[in-house]
Structure 1
Amino acid sequence: MWNQVRKLQKNRTVKYGIPMLLLIVGGSFGLREFTQIRYDAQKIKRKLDPALEARVSTKKQLAILQDEFEKLKDADLDGWKNIRGPRPWEDSKEYQEQQRAQLSKGT
């Protein structure tokens, strides 16, 4: 009996092959579980709040588009002025105040 165990311990297939196969098969199952956890966590993060989900739903999409069209129809799109935004090296508040002052003088 003990001779057979010693022969198995010296056999290269038993010594290296079986642990390698166990590592490959076990690793496959382990990776499947870890990736499932990752995808479940992503699903939870992507869950929309109910107010936003109601606005995104395709059933109510037509009504939302009609509301937006009504808002745009009432807006004055012809009477606008192009105001340049501040450069990174300029003080934004100071520059905006200068442009507002110029606009109020011009109109």
Structure 2
Amino acid sequence: MSLGGSATEQDGVLVGKLFGSVGMIWKADEKLFDAVLGAASMAVQSGKHPGQLKDDVTSPGGTTIAGIHELEKNGFRGTLMNAVVAAAKRSQELSQELKRLRPIKIKHVS
């Protein structure tokens, strides 16, 4: 979470409570978002697979590859994929529940 320019600290507390009730949140300095945007732009503009980009920017025995190794060793990629699939499945379930609960309006033609 990062508050926009017109958001107050009270807004941040409210948003933190809302999102915190369904998951974990982190407050991040907005200046850190550019690095993520840069990585995403690199993947899109280069046309390379993210795995290839990872290989291009890490060095053997370096700190980044050591961190990636720990993530992979502990099943991070599979866990992340499972989380996305579970969220998509639950979204579909909620959509179906909403359709069942929403009253159907019928127009009478005279």
Bucket of the pairwise TM-score, normalised by the shorter protein? 0.3 to 0.5
Provide TM-score, normalisation by structure 1.
Answer: 0.34
Structure with a larger share of its residues in helix: 1
TM-score between both structures, scaled by the size of structure 2: 0.33
Task: Pick the structure with greater CA Rg.
Answer: 1
